[in-house]
């Protein structure tokens, strides 16, 4: 058997975020004067890998496809600075690295538009060199930033080897039904949950209904956003309520990625699901307190300090 080398392997998107913050989000045809602008390395998979690294996991590898362009070089450099291994990242010579355009209003609400670029050229052949590593990893993380064929083949590979899979069904695209029974933890926000189930999610009760639909379709654990109230972590006949934490939120970008990355760390550390949920909730809350996803992803001490503070005031 191949010796275990990785704690977490992330297969997903790595691209560049262009972020503008202004007083409110524009409606169609409107021009809004922004007052902050950032260019940052991004991508859901990329942010999840960096979150896990910042929270203390040392053996993390990223699997992605990026362009052979300057932005691709910057993406690789940023991973190396964070301690994320890049040996499985493929450089595409024909397609540019992807980008996301992100607009954020003063209360932290956002809207985004993506062009995945080279990320959508990822193939099953790109996954083959990573197969042994995936089979012996402690956790595999997936999103909908890559084409369906390599997504499914990667999930089947990990599932057959007994590797836990955390699946973030974002952006809210069509999810193949055969993927769900392979998933250990699925982490949809309210819109993604509705896309998956047809159940509108706006509070704790509607989130519970959507989550139970996903459990019935084969997912083991559901971590679902309930709207503005918080998140619900539910499995079998048990659930943990994760209320929205009292922080000064200015930008929600990356909060879901921080939640997923922190859940992966908790799985690696073999925490209970309840403890994992609160750890992930704190990581997500901290991410909303700074502008941009990548700069806002928290360090382990920040998460520990927030949890310690909340325990003293509860």
Instruction: Confirm whether 5 is domain-assigned.
Output: no
Residue range 269-302, pLDDT digits in tens: 999 999 999 999 999 999 999 988 899 999 999 9
- Residue 3 belongs to a domain: no
Phi and psi at residue 141, to the nearest 5°? -115, 135
The pTM of the full predicted model, rounded to 2 decimals, is: 0.94
Calculate mean pLDDT across residues 186-197: 95
Q: CA triplet 301, 251, 171: central angle to 5 degrees?
A: 100
- Going through 131-220 in order, the beta strands assigned E by DSSP cover 139-143, 165-168, 185-186
**Residues 183-197: what's their mean pLDDT?**
96
Q: How high does pLDDT run on average in the chain?
A: 93
* Sheet of strand 185-186, all strands in order from the earlier edge strand to the far edge: 85-92, 60-67, 8-11, 139-143, 165-168, 185-186, 221-225, 230-235, 238-243
Residue 1 placed within a domain: no
pLDDT score, position 312: 81
Q: 17: domain CATH number?
A: 3.40.1190.20
pLDDT at residue 1 in the model: 39
**Count of domains for the chain:** 1
pLDDT in tens, 17-45: 999 999 999 999 999 999 889 899 999 99
pLDDT in the model for residue 150: 96
Strand-pair partners of 42: 15
Q: Is the pLDDT of residue 4 over 70?
A: no
Name the nearest CA neighbour of 298 among 283, 311, 281, 308.
283
Model confidence pLDDT, tens digit, residues 69-90: 999 999 999 999 999 999 999 9
State the residue range of the domain holding 141.
11-313
**Is residue 83 assigned to a domain?**
yes
- C-alpha–C-alpha distance, residues 262 and 155, integer Å: 20
Write the pLDDT tens digit of every residue in 90-102. 999 999 999 999 9
User: What's the confidence (pLDDT) of residue 187?
Assistant: 97
Q: Is residue 4 part of a domain?
A: no
Q: What is the pLDDT of residue 3?
A: 58
pLDDT the model gives residue 310: 85
pLDDT above 90 as % of the chain: 85
Question: Has residue 75 been placed in a domain?
Answer: yes
Cα–Cα distance for residue pair 305/4, rounded to 1 Å: 32
In a domain, 2, yes or no: no
Q: What confidence tens digit (pLDDT) does each residue in 118-153 have? A: 999 999 999 999 999 999 999 999 999 999 999 999
Per annotation, catalytic residue among 174, 257, 275, 305: 257
Residue 257 known to be catalytic? yes
Q: What number of other Cβ atoms are within 10 A of residue 145's Cβ?
A: 26
Q: Is residue 6 part of a domain?
A: no
Can you tell me the distance from the alpha carbon of 179 to that of 107, in angstroms, rounded to the nearest whole number?
A: 35
pLDDT over 90 at 109, yes or no: no
């Amino acid at each position: 058997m191949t010796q275990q080398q990785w704690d977490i392997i992330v297969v997903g998107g790595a691209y560049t975020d262009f972020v503008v913050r202004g007083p409110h989000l524009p409606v169609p045809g409107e021009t809004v004067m922004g007052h902050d602008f950032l260019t940052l390395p991004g991508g859901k998979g990329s942010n999840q890998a960096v979150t896990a690294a910042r929270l203390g996991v040392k053996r993390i590898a990223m699997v992605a496809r990026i362009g052979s362009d300057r932005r691709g070089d910057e993406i690789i450099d940023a991973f190396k600075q964070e301690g994320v291994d890049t040996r499985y990242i493929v450089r595409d010579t024909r397609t540019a690295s992807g980008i996301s355009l992100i607009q954020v209003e003063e209360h932290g609400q956002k809207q985004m538009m993506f062009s995945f670029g080279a990320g959508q050229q990822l193939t099953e052949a790109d996954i083959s060199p990573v197969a042994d590593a995936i089979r012996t990893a402690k956790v595999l993380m997936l999103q909908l930033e890559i084409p369906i064929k390599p997504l499914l083949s990667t999930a089947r590979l990990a599932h057959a080897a007994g590797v836990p899979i955390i699946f973030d069904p974002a952006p809210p695209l069509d999810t193949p039904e055969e993927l769900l029974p392979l998933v250990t933890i699925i982490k949809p926000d309210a819109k993604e949950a509705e896309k998956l189930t047809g159940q509108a999610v706006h509070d704790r009760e509607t989130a519970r209904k959507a989550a139970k639909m996903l459990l019935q379709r084969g997912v083991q654990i559901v971590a679902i956003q309930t709207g503005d109230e918080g998140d619900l972590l539910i499995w079998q006949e048990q659930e943990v309520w994760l209320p929205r934490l009292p922080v000064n939120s200015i930008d929600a970008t990356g909060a879901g990625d921080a939640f997923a990355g922190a859940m992966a760390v908790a799985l690696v550390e073999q925490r209970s699901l309840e403890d994992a949920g609160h750890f992930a909730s704190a990581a997500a809350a901290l991410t909303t307190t700074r502008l941009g996803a990548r700069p806002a992803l928290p360090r382990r001490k920040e998460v520990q300090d927030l949890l310690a503070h909340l325990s003293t005031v509860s």
